[in-house]
Amino acid sequence: MGLSREELLAELRDAGRVHSNAAVMYHAAISARMDLSAVEEKTLDLLQRSGALSAGELAELTGLAPASVSGLIDRLERKGFARRGKDPQDRRRVNVEIDPGTHARFAPLFEPFAAQLAELYEEYTDAELAVILGFLRRSAVIQREATRALREEK
């Protein structure tokens, strides 16, 4: 039973690394299956969150040149994941929105993993799940902050 706190912490560092790596590999496998590059994937994620973004906003958020964003949108349209729409307020603007079918295309890929995870959750009490939930949230905040620091530092 008994791991000392030190041992526990050491195991956690290792498990965290392994877990992180698994997430990265999984993500890569999903992208590969969907025939999406990392940038395309990230763009879909941005669109998912915000509903719709203009080409210029995408350039800003992805760090790409405007010309590159045109090509990016072309590719996403060609693959059926996004659509161009004119902004009625300012018709120079192109509003890019995620294709409504996108979620449904991803869902079956995620589903087996989600099901397994649901099974895993069943093995925990509510109190334990609350601990896990809190940890996931807090460590995600920390990791996002670390990412931000890495990007702007120097």
Contact residues for DNA (CB under 7 A)?
37, 39-40, 54-57, 59, 63-75, 84, 89-94
Least Å distance, CB 98 to DNA, is 16
Least Å distance, CB 42 to DNA, is 10
Q: Which strands form 94-98's sheet, in the order they lie side by side?
A: 52-54, 94-98, 82-86
Residues numbered 125-144 forming contacts with a second copy, rule: CB under 8 A: 126, 128-133, 135-140, 142-144
Residues numbered 2-21 forming contacts with a second copy, rule: CB under 8 A: 3, 5, 8-9, 11-13, 15-16, 18-21
For a second copy, the closer of residues 94 and 109 by Cβ is: 109
Q: Where are the beta strands (DSSP E) in the chain?
A: 52-54, 82-86, 94-98
HSE at residue 28, side-chain half, CA atoms within 13 A, is 6
How far apart (Å, rounded) are the C-alpha atoms in residues 154 and 147?
13
